[in-house]
Structure 1
């Protein structure tokens, strides 16, 4: 095991399972904090501000971090667009407050008819009218951005539609593929690296889901650590052509 200068870490399935605590996760974060090793929670959730993630970890899982430890796909999307903008700051957005706040914090303003960008994420109040505006704007030449490709989200009712399902409708209506930012794409990982001010060979990606977390690390070219406390199983991973760098059943097995 190498000594890494930074950690990129998934949340659900790695730090907790839904509303269930994973005791090893708390110990893992506290070891990172004791050793003053920087880390970022990298999450595909674009609906919430970082503070909501911080509060959830503290109040429900006794894991105490700061806003600076949280990097959402909303923040990554705003950072990505800021790098493209070149003075173009108009955007039409399908999404929740977390996404819109991240964009406005980077100086973007909302325009329905002729925006430079259309950004689509998870929106709990999505309507036909929103789809119509997004479709027409993309047809007029707006660059089409999707926050993340997750087609479903687990909740107490089962697997409900995720951001990827909403984005897919716009893709169908426009006959255009979105540029995706979130895991497993490298964009969110590159932006997270920049936030840590580290190189890809200095960090490791930690997660429970091969298709998102581990694939994101592989796409970036960084080492990966899969923990079998969530989505992926050892049998599933054994069938993959590219294996994680490390595999553990519990984060307690990982030495810093």
Structure 2
């Protein structure tokens, strides 16, 4: 199994590691990509951490030696997308963690509790009823509803815990409004990531463990995909999907790099 791709978009949770646990084949895979001169961009639906934090975690804890320029989060994609469209609409109410807040403020957005232009909902491990209540009320009062990503769950060392999509669904149900979604499987994050690496979609492959996010995102933007069975999706489930991944492997050690 070999290929011609110049760029690799790689998922994190379930593909590169599982929570705090290493996936040794992932470190070997990235090292082989770097030695072959390929462009590597970790494209993740995790909005909670900064690219600096993610790169440092990969380097220190997972033996994957990359810098913040190799990381593109749904927080960055959200900020980039809104910055291209916001004009002078810069007020944002956020349900989320530091990575999302930093990405927005770095692009000139102002975080507010009242009268926002946008309500952005992402993963927030310290979420309260009060935060969600405020988000619902502000959206019902006319703010534009943005969701970072639709993941129902995310894999960590304890199992499949609730993801950002679970919080977004609560707000959607209470407002009866569908959010504009940024992260995988939507095209938005993929189009923004392609701008980052300045490559055509035919020259890039998306590598991930989750058919419904990683692989579907590749399909939606017209990009090839590589599904690795180290995380969420299982072969029996994937076999039933109407559009198959371009490639599947049991482990990233099975992938040959040209």
- What is the TM-score when the length of structure 1 is the normalising length? 0.94
SS across alignment from 2:13: coil
Deviates more, 1:193-202 or 1:52-61: 52-61
1:145 equivalent in structure 2? 146
Structure 2: any 5+ residue segments left out of the alignment? none
**1:198-242 superposed Cα distances (whole Å, 9 cap, x missing partner):** 121111001111111111111111001111222222222222110
**1:31-58 superposed Cα distances (whole Å, 9 cap, x missing partner):** 2111221111011111111122112212
**1:181-204 superposed Cα distances (whole Å, 9 cap, x missing partner):** 111111111111111111211110
**1:154-181 superposed Cα distances (whole Å, 9 cap, x missing partner):** 3444433221121112112211011111
SS across alignment from 1:56: helix
Aligned pairs for 1:1-256 (under 5 A) are: 1-256=2-257
CA distance in 2, matches of 1:232, 1:157: 17
CA distance in 1, matches of 2:43, 2:199: 15
SS across alignment from 2:161: strand
The question of whether the paired residues in 1 share the 8 Å contact of 2:18 and 2:156 is answered with no
Deviates more, 1:119-128 or 1:101-110: 119-128
Distance 1:158 1:9, change over 3 A: closer
SS across alignment from 2:33: helix
How many pairs are equivalent? 256
CA distance in 2, matches of 1:200, 1:53: 24
- Could you list the structure 1 runs, at least 4 aligned residues long, displaced by more than 6 angstroms after superposition: none
CA drift of 1:23 comes to 2.2
Deviates more, 1:147-156 or 1:7-16: 147-156
CA distance in 2, matches of 1:22, 1:125: 28
- What is the TM-score when the length of structure 2 is the normalising length? 0.94
